[in-house]
């Protein structure tokens, strides 16, 4: 008996070294009614406890902020927290107490609004067109001296600009130290020892803050000319580089609730008229409105679902593989168990205002954080999202798993004959199929067993059935294996190569469709390729 126990323990230890490679994307049907889930409520309490523990110290006690959490299936906000610092509470104008309807400047989150408007109007059809088709003036100007390279505007596309791949410098005028402006006012006097700028015509005439923090906005044509003579940083489509000028095309193609620290609308940045840069940083919003905006995107309310799916894609990585860029998005990728979740975000920074808008399509969930601070600008915005995501992401995955188990796990059988499917969940992603028999033929041992003796068969949502009473899944199958050593890059994670490679009469054997009731609970499953319907007999 002791020997048998030792063998069992050894087998378990070996099996614990094995893993599978999930397919990128959503693993379970999206969780619903999060506000009724105890684990979600506990996670929001963890977040709130962290905030309250820090409110007596900087930067928290020097920052007014509004935090809102939202999901597509819930009206309003799932959770909100607001704090008002003394500079806003005592301000002579605007609100004295922040709430979900308090208006903040959201700066570069404006870019997502602008891209969304473009997608509503034209979709992706012009994304491969050169920007000069729409703004030919960009190709007309040349620097007076050929001592620096210009962007090749004729090869820069609309999509390049949307994806931060234009290769153009970050801003026209904003931080140009050839000017006497706000930036140079913070620099030592030795900055004046730099050689005179030649030719003087290259010195920006607008687009910067004066030493008094007045923003000098540009007229459209002046900005176009200045931008056309802004030196290139890289060739187009080479590497992501952030630029407010990316939003030029989007811009030119077309009081009592205000949060104003210190009561100075100019110094706070509230009153800055950004001219053509308004599409990059000019929007004002509230936590409530950003939640409505996020739900509209996640729900494909104003654009086709296919356009939304293309929008939620990574077009380039930065140096780190857990960070990428998309059409206006800053994309962060975070591990949850053995799989990776993509989070689509845009942050903003202008004057005293910093902000973050983040949505997670896998869960139909989003976060809006708006802040304003005279003395600690950006510090709360840089800290709080880590706390929120670290507390919520594993909880969202667990809730999705538990709800999927309740709705789909069980034993499915035909009324007569020998056909059955058994579905469960475990610590790994997706629904797990542990039995798949059709008319006495064990498909896991025969067809799918060609991959290996211990085939692992999972079902992931395929979104092919738009109606509320059918939920479709696609099979992902692979033998569990030990992770490859770090120096063996070629090549792990091959499961995506084998999706639906076994068919029966031209229909994938791995596809299953569940009939669900009004609560989302499965009543039966259809084995699509085999044209068999199995009723749920045991949960």
CB 165 within 8 A of CB 131: no
Give residues with Cβ within 8 angstroms of 175, minimum separation 6: 183, 208
DSSP conformation letters of 169-230: -S-SSTT-TTS-SHHHHTS-GGGGGSPPPSSGGGS-SSSEE-TTS-EE---HHHHHHHHHTS
Instruction: From residue 16, give the alpha-carbon distance in Å to each of 127, 476, 481, 530.
Output: 47, 20, 10, 34
Cα 525 from Cα 537, distance rounded (Å)? 11
Q: Which residues of 360-383 are buried (b: 16+ CB within 10 A; e: fewer)?
A: bbbbbbbbbbbbbbbebbbbbbee
Task: Report the predicted TM-score, pTM, of the whole model to 2 decimal places.
Answer: 0.88
Residue 70 pairs with which residues in a beta bridge? 366
Spatial distance between the Cα atoms of 114 and 296, rounded to a whole number of angstroms: 14
pLDDT string in tens for the chain (539-residue length): 444 444 444 344 335 689 999 999 999 999 999 999 999 999 999 999 999 999 999 999 999 999 999 999 999 999 999 999 998 999 888 889 999 999 998 888 888 988 998 899 889 888 899 988 888 888 876 655 567 888 888 899 989 988 889 898 888 878 888 877 667 777 787 777 777 776 666 788 888 887 777 788 888 888 888 888 888 889 999 998 888 776 665 555 543 344 445 555 555 554 555 565 555 666 789 999 999 999 999 999 999 999 999 999 999 999 888 999 999 999 999 999 999 999 999 998 877 889 999 999 999 999 999 998 888 777 898 999 999 999 999 999 999 999 999 999 999 999 888 999 999 999 999 999 999 999 999 999 999 999 888 999 999 999 999 888 999 999 999 999 998 888 888 888 888 999 999 999 999 999 999 999 999 999 999 999 999 999 999 66
Length of the chain: 539
d(CA 342, CA 360): 7
Point out which residues pair with 249 in neighbouring strands. Answer: none
The tokens for 121 are: 């109007």
Residues of the chain with CATH 3.40.710.10: 34-111+255-396
CA separation, residue 335 to residues 345, 397, 485 (Å): 16, 11, 19
Q: Which residues pair with 341 in a beta bridge?
A: 334
Query: In CATH, what class is 34-111+255-396?
Result: alpha beta
| β-bridge mates for residue 481, sequence order | 19
Closest to 512 in 3D by CA, of 495, 533, 489, 488: 533
């Amino acid at each position: 008996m002791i020997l048998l126990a030792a063998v069992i323990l050894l087998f378990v230890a070996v099996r614990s070294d094995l893993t599978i490679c999930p397919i990128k994307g959503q693993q379970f049907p999206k969780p619903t009614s999060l506000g009724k889930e105890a684990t979600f409520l506990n996670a929001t309490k963890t977040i709130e406890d962290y905030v309250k523990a820090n409110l007596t110290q900087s930067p928290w006690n020097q920052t007014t902020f509004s935090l809102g959490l939202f999901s597509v299936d819930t009206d309003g906000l799932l959770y909100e927290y607001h704090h008002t610092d003394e500079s806003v509470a005592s301000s002579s104008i605007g609100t004295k107490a922040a709430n979900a309807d308090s208006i903040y400047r959201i700066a570069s989150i404006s870019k997502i609004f602008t891209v969304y408007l473009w997608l509503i109007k034209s979709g992706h059809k012009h994304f491969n067109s050169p920007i000069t088709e729409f703004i030919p003036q960009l190709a007309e100007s040349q620097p007076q001296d050929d001592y620096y390279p210009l962007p090749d505007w004729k090869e820069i596309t609309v999509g390049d600009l949307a994806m931060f791949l234009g290769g153009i410098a970050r801003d026209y005028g904003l931080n140009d130290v050839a000017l006497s402006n706000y930036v140079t006012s913070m620099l030592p006097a030795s900055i004046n020892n730099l050689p005179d700028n030649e030719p003087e015509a290259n010195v920006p005439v607008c687009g910067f803050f004066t030493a008094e923090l007045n923003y000098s906005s540009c007229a459209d044509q002046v900005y176009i000319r200045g931008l056309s003579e802004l030196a290139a940083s890289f060739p187009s489509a080479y590497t992501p580089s952030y630029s407010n000028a990316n939003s030029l095309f989007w811009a030119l193609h077309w009081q009592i609730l205000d949060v104003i620290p210190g009561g100075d609308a100019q110094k706070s940045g509230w009153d800055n008229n950004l001219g053509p840069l308004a599409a990059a940083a000019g929007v004002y919003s509230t936590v409530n409105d950003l939640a409505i905006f996020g739900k509209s995107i996640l729900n494909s309310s104003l654009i086709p679902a296919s356009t939304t799916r293309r929008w939620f894609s990574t077009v380039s990585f930065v140096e780190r593989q857990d960070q990428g860029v998309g059409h206006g998005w800053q994309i962060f990728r975070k591990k949850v168990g053995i799989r990776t979740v993509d989070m689509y975000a845009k942050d903003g920074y202008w004057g005293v205002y910093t902000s973050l808008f983040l949505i997670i399509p896998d869960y139909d969930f989003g976060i809006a954080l708006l802040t304003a601070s005279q003395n600690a600008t950006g510090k709360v915005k840089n800290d709080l999202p880590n706390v929120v995501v670290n507390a919520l992401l594993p909880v969202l995955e667990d809730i999705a798993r538990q709800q999927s188990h309740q709705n789909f796990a069980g034993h499915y059988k035909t009324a007569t004959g020998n056909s059955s499917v058994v579905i469960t969940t475990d610590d790994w992603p997706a629904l797990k199929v542990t039995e798949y028999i059709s008319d006495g033929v064990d498909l896991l041992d025969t067809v799918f067993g060609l991959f290996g003796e211990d085939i692992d068969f999972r079902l992931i949502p395929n979104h092919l059935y738009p109606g509320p009473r059918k939920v479709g899944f696609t099979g992902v199958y692979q033998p569990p294996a030990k992770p490859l050593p770090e120096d063996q890059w070629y090549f792990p994670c091959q499961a995506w190569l084998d999706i639906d490679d076994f068919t029966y009469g031209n229909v994938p054997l791995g596809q299953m469709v569940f009939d669900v009731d009004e609560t989302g609970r499965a009543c039966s499953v259809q084995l699509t390729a085999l044209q068999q319907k199995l009723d749920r007999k045991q949960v």
